[in-house]
């Protein structure tokens, strides 16, 4: 029985390169014929070593039987129109195929053709990024709070206790806070909503009263009142642009820090006595959905994964997803667009139509799915074993290929050299941004999110999620390579989210 034999052999967990060597030595031909991947690459390069007979013979003799063909072959339908977009897409597939087919000689693979998570190297990489940085990092000089968040969140997902960084972080955060409210991207920089979001998340992750008390909540609230617009959205900075990042960042800050919703009398958004910081925000998000079904930064922009994430995060704070998503979005169209972001053979996501796979969209697009799933399933109960489905939510946790995303992350997005860290794609170098967001996407693919309860129409603070390990089969990675769960709306460890929220819930005033 050939299938049984190959399975049994695969279970011995021989590194893939040895398997290839073993299969080669048992072949009678002296000249090795091209692998399936070489065929695909030749086809992409417009060469013809691809006779159907040669192809089917090779399919039987090469490659791990535990890697589904979809991850090692070209898509069955290929456009015959060549453009610069189709050319870079072909190049990207050619670049990823050897990694996906477990043909990289220096990397050991398991029986599914998946390498280990290089946890210790990724930890070292992130720790290094928290230290003193050389001159070439100057381009990040206005994004220092982001760098802190990426590293601290990445370390937390990898299971590291980051409380040792508390004192240094507190000092750094103080140096970047402005009396007029909010944090800048560096010392002396004007406050920016994205930097403020990142700094507040970083402070939440290290946790503790001293870290929380750095934040001047009254000044932050006053500053948010000046950023809130009559159309419901938020400016990113005084005199800056209004876009959907502002909607999400503001919603996170207001609820995490329990800020008052009241608008100051001078706020440009104070059109009636009853208008507040959340007035019109859901409708603002609605207007950002495009004809494609995705979400753009502003009205009439191009749909992009990072903005879909901001839209869903914001709506999940305004209320439970099964209510707010359906009220403000065309959910079927959004699902169609999100689904189109996952590519084969790559398995990872692109950020927009006709663009390339990139590891960071494992988070921006990947982390939309748990919220979409929660919105379709509605509130459930912990009475159900999370890995046993009931009729009503039978398919809600498999709306995308978890296997594809996990393969892209382990095979293509991990830097497997001494350097460590995660990357956009194999031809790019790792950085803290991609390390954070690839790990966050991995966490979402390895867990199931359920909305447990939502009390009526209230804010997200009243919604509760259960995030538990996803144990569906096949589990193509080792259990030790499962990373930690993370809060599905705030993207800090769930316990840290609860700590800061309960701290500020107990002190509603300033
Ligand atoms: C395009 O980059 C990227 C964007 C249009 C959006 C980027 C925004 C974010 C990553 C984060 C926003 C979220 C918050 C919470 C502030 P590109 O053209 O280099 O990449 P692409 O080809 O993959 O689209
Ligand atoms: K990109
Ligand atoms: Zn990226």
What is the residue with the minimal CA distance to atom 21 of ligand 1?
351
Cα-to-centroid distance, 112 and ligand 1 (Å): 32
Cα-to-centroid distance, 442 and ligand 3 (Å): 14
User: Is 192 marked active-site?
Assistant: no
User: Cis ω on the peptide bond leading into residue 10 (within 30° of 0)?
Assistant: no
Ramachandran angles phi, psi of 183, nearest 5°: -115, 145
User: Is 355 marked active-site?
Assistant: yes
CA atoms in the 13 A half-sphere facing the CB of 84: 0
User: Is 352 marked active-site?
Assistant: yes
Residues of the chain with pLDDT under 70: 1-33, 48-64, 381-395, 454-462
Three-state secondary-structure class, residue 355: coil
On whether the CB atoms of residues 162 and 205 are closer than 8 A, the answer is yes
Classify residue 105 by burial, with Cβ atoms within 10 Å: 0-12, 13-18, 19+: exposed
> Locate tokens 């192809």: which residue?
55
Task: Enumerate residues with CB within 5 Å of ligand 3 (an ion).
Answer: 358, 360, 424
User: Is 360 marked active-site?
Assistant: yes
Predicted pLDDT of residue 198: 98
Among all bound ligands, the one having the nearest atom to the CA of 433 is 3
On whether the CB atoms of residues 325 and 315 are closer than 8 A, the answer is yes
Cα-to-centroid distance, 367 and ligand 1 (Å): 15
Of how many residues is the chain composed? 510
Cα-to-centroid distance, 147 and ligand 1 (Å): 16
Instruction: State both tokens at 145.
Output: 């709070």
Instruction: Kindly list the distances between the CA atom of residue 202 and the CA atoms of 166, 222, 338, 504, in Å, as whole numbers in the listed order.
Output: 9, 22, 28, 16
Among all bound ligands, the one having the nearest atom to the CA of 306 is 1
Three-state secondary-structure class, residue 408: helix
User: Cis ω on the peptide bond leading into residue 345 (within 30° of 0)?
Assistant: yes
Task: Please identify which of the residues 58, 90, 243, 431 carries the catalytic annotation.
Answer: 431
User: Is 322 marked active-site?
Assistant: no
Task: Please identify which of the residues 355, 393, 464, 499 carries the catalytic annotation.
Answer: 355
Instruction: Kindly list the distances between the CA atom of residue 148 and the CA atoms of 111, 127, 172, 181, 338, in Å, as whole numbers in the listed order.
Output: 37, 10, 10, 19, 29
| Cα dihedral 305, 310, 312, 317 in deg (nearest 10) | 170
Predicted pLDDT of residue 168: 98
Distance CA(252)–CA(247), nearest Å, equals 9
Distance CA(229)–CA(231), nearest Å, equals 5
User: Is 431 marked active-site?
Assistant: yes
Distance CA(299)–CA(307), nearest Å, equals 12
Instruction: State both tokens at 401.
Output: 């290929």
Please give the ipTM for the structure prediction: 0.98
Among all bound ligands, the one having the nearest atom to the CA of 422 is 3
Q: With a threshold of 0.80, does the pTM exceed it?
A: yes
Ramachandran angles phi, psi of 148, nearest 5°: -65, -45
Task: Please identify which of the residues 19, 62, 192, 304 carries the catalytic annotation.
Answer: 304
Give residue-wise pLDDT tens across range 189-222. Answer: 999 999 999 999 999 999 999 999 999 999 999 9
Enumerate the H helices of 108-192 as residue ranges: 119-129, 144-157, 166-176
Which amino acids bring their CB within 6 angstroms of ligand 1? 194, 245, 248-249, 304, 306, 310, 351-352, 355, 358
């Amino acid at each position: 029985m050939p299938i049984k034999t190959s399975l049994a052999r695969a279970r011995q967990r021989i590194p893939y390169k040895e398997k290839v060597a073993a299969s080669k030595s048992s072949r009678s031909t002296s000249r090795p014929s091209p692998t399936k991947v070489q065929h695909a690459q030749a086809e992409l390069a417009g060469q013809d070593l691809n006779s159907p007979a040669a192809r089917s013979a090779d399919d039987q003799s090469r490659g791990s039987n535990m890697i589904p063909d979809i991850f090692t072959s070209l898509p069955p339908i290929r456009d015959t129109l060549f453009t610069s977009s189709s050319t870079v897409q072909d190049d990207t597939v050619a670049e990823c195929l050897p990694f996906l087919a477990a043909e990289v000689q220096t990397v050991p693979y398991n029986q599914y053709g998946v390498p280990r998570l290089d946890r210790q190297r990724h930890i070292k990489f992130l720790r290094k990024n928290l230290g003193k940085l050389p001159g070439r990092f100057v381009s990040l000089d206005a994004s220092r709070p982001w760098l802190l968040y990426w590293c601290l969140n990445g370390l937390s997902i990898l299971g590291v206790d980051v409380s040792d960084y508390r004192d240094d972080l507190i000092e750094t955060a103080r140096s970047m806070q402005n009396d007029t409210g909010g944090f800048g991207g560096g010392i002396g920089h004007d406050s920016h909503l994205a930097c403020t979001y990142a700094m507040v998340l970083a402070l939440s992750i290290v946790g503790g009263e001293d870290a929380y008390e750095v934040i001047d909540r009254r000044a932050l609230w006053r500053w948010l009142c000046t950023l809130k617009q009559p159309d419901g959205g938020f400016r990113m900075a005084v005199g800056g642009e209004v876009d959907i990042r502002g909607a999400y960042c503001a919603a996170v800050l207001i609820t995490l820090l329990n800020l008052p919703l009241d608008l100051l009398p001078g706020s440009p958004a104070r059109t009636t006595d009853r208008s507040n910081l959340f007035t019109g925000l859901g409708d603002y998000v609605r207007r950002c959905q495009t004809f494609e079904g995705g979400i753009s930064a502003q009205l009439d922009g191009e749909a992009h994964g990072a903005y879909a994430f901001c839209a869903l995060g914001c709506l999940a704070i305004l209320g439970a997803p099964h209510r707010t998503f359906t009220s403000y979005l065309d959910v079927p169209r959004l699902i169609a667009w999100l689904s189109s972001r996952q590519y084969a053979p790559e398995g990872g996501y692109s950020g927009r139509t006709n663009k390339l796979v990139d590891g960071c969209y494992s988070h921006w697009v990947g982390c939309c799915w748990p919220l979409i799933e929660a919105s379709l399933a509605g509130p459930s109960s912990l009475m159900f074993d999370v890995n046993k489905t009931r009729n009503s939510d039978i398919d809600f946790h498999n709306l995308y290929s978890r296997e594809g995303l996990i393969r892209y992350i382990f095979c293509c997005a991990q830097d497997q050299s001494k350097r460590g860290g995660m990357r956009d794609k194999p031809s790019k170098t790792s950085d803290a941004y991609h390390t954070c967001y690839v790990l966050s996407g991995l966490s979402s693919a390895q867990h199931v999110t359920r909305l447990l309860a939502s009390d009526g129409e209230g804010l997200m603070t009243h919604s509760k999620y259960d995030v538990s390990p996803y144990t569906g089969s096949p589990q193509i990675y080792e259990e030790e390579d499962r990373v930690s769960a993370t809060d599905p709306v705030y993207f800090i460890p769930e316990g840290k989210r609860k700590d800061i929220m309960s701290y500020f819930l107990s002190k509603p005033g300033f």
